[in-house]
Amino acid sequence: MGRRFGPYGGAYVPETLVPALDELASEWRTARSEPSFRAELRRYSTTLGGRPTPLYFAERLTRRAGGAEIWLKREDLVHGGAHKFNNALGQGLLARRMGKPRVIAETGAGQHGVASAMIGAALGLDTVVYMGEVDMARQRPNVDRMRLLGARVVPVRSGSRTLKDAINAALRDWITNVRTTHYLLGSAVGPHPFPSIVAELQSVIGREIRTQSRRAFGRLPDLAVACVGGGSNAIGTFHPLRNTGVELLGVEAGGPARSRVGAASLTRGRPGILHGAYTYVLSDADGQVRETESLSAGLDYAGVGPEHAWLRDTGRARYVAVHDDDALRAFRWLAEDEGILPALEPAHAVFAAVRAARRRPRTQHVVVTLSGRGDKDLEVVTRAGRARAR
Ligand SMILES: *Cc1c(COP(=O)(O)O)cnc(C)c1O
């Protein structure tokens, strides 16, 4: 478990957190190789989570693209409707194993908060979710879900009252309550060892892609595509494929057509420190973190996991930004061609996958990770449709 990915990663945190991070790293090292822990993880993944998720041949979408075959890795079918479950489950089991009765989590759109609340309930952990006040207003249904699942949702009133402020609040809580509390971080970001733990828990996605693509079309895909917010579903897709010849394409949110920022830290940011890690960050010339803009709440984050920063610099993975309008277009393609309403986050990846498939021969295979389902985005999509019709 590397502490650094090239120059990226590390743990830029207050002194008081260092013992907690060290403890977490060592507990994880033990747990991950322990047969009983792995058996528990497998049991809940299958019987509560619904794994393995299918690899689906998107035949009509392939015909629309008119090139390489497009296959969808169906993380939208995981319990709760997104890949977030994979990580919340693993860390929940780890918290229980460490004897910590309380978990805290941060959430932006509410997806990770809901996943944490589900796991908290299933494992009998006291769950507290920090959420920016602005996000609470924007994502009301997820606030209700978390509360129904027995979690306490704490409004964060500092800064821009969104995700990055919720992360800061969760870190502060952790510093105070570290003896009883595990911080269930929601993406492959933050200080070591979080990016490595989250990557490993999400790697179930890429491992299944490896097995399922061999079974479905006799070899590995030529290209794997995933959307990148903090980067957890993408790193889970890429990790098990990184030592193969599979091309890797990460897709960030480009935001509105005229936006110069969007939420594209790898394609438009620069190296800096955010939330305890050295990575690519959207910041201004004075090093201030910029306000991001994206139609999809799950991609709306100014930083990115440090391992992606290194994959970018080394050229092992490529990253592009896709604008709001193109993500909406891909949302409609998937709805009308395949009968699937995707979340807006992976709709960005679907757009990039269709564009890539179009330029490739029919003999090639493109796998795109469909990180979540679109129920949460219906209002945004419908409103955008009405605005267009006017
Ligand atoms: C949260 C979320 C994302 C973005 O998070 P990553 O850590 O980059 O995977 C993407 N898709 C869905 C459906 C999400 O809920």
Confidence of residue 275 (pLDDT cuts 50, 70, 90): very high
Mean pLDDT of 55-65: 98
Mean pLDDT of 285-295: 87
Confidence of residue 157 (pLDDT cuts 50, 70, 90): very high
* Residue 230 Cβ contacting ligand 1 at under 6 Å: yes
Q: What is the pLDDT of residue 1?
A: 38
* Residue 298 Cβ contacting ligand 1 at under 6 Å: yes
The preferred substitution site among 106, 279, 371 for testing ligand 1, maximizing ligand atoms within 8 Å of CB, is 371
- Is 295 buried (19+), middle (13-18) or exposed (0-12) by CB count in 10 A? buried
Protein residue with its CA nearest to atom 2 in ligand 1: 298
Instruction: Between 262 and 248, name the one with better pLDDT.
Output: 248
Mean pLDDT of 301-306: 95
Percentage with pLDDT > 90 across the chain: 87
Distance 338 CA to ligand 1 centre (A): 21
* Residue 233 Cβ contacting ligand 1 at under 6 Å: yes
Residue 2 predicted with pLDDT over 50: no
Mean pLDDT of 61-70: 98
The beta strand positions in the chain, using DSSP E, are 4-5, 8-9, 55-57, 69-74, 102-107, 126-132, 152-156, 181-183, 223-227, 247-255, 270-274, 277-281, 317-323, 365-370
Mean pLDDT of 216-229: 98
* Residue 111 Cβ contacting ligand 1 at under 6 Å: yes
- Do the Cβ atoms of 252 and 263 come closer than 8 Å? yes
The preferred substitution site among 202, 204, 319, 345 for testing ligand 1, maximizing ligand atoms within 8 Å of CB, is 345
Distance 66 CA to ligand 1 centre (A): 28
Q: What is the pLDDT of residue 272?
A: 96
pTM: 0.97
Measured CA to CA in angstroms, residue 234 lies from 3, 4, 18, 339 at distances of 19, 18, 28, 24
Measured CA to CA in angstroms, residue 157 lies from 146, 160, 220 at distances of 19, 8, 47
Distance 10 CA to ligand 1 centre (A): 23
Task: Write down the mean pLDDT value for the chain.
Answer: 95
Report the catalytic residues.
Answer: 84, 106, 371
Among the atoms of ligand 1, which is closest to the Cα of residue 229?
8
**From 98-102, 107-111, 179-183, 207-211, the region with the lowest mean pLDDT:** 107-111
Mean pLDDT of 56-82: 98
* Residue 241 Cβ contacting ligand 1 at under 6 Å: no
Residue located via tokens 């009301």 = 140
**pLDDT tens digits for 329-384?**
999 999 999 999 999 999 999 999 999 999 999 999 999 999 999 999 999 999 99
* Residue 84 Cβ contacting ligand 1 at under 6 Å: yes
Distance 186 CA to ligand 1 centre (A): 9
Mean pLDDT of 176-202: 97
Where does 33-162 have alpha helices with state H?
Answer: 35-47, 59-65, 84-97, 111-123, 133-138, 140-148
Q: What is the pLDDT of residue 3?
A: 77
Residue 389 predicted with pLDDT over 80: no
**Which range in 101-105, 159-163, 259-263 is most confidently predicted, on average pLDDT?**
101-105
Distance 352 CA to ligand 1 centre (A): 16
Mean pLDDT of 243-270: 94
Pick from 238, 307, 313, 317: which is nearest to 5 by CA?
307
Helices 344-358 and 324-338, packing angle to 10 deg: 80
**Which range in 201-205, 294-298, 299-303 is most confidently predicted, on average pLDDT?**
201-205
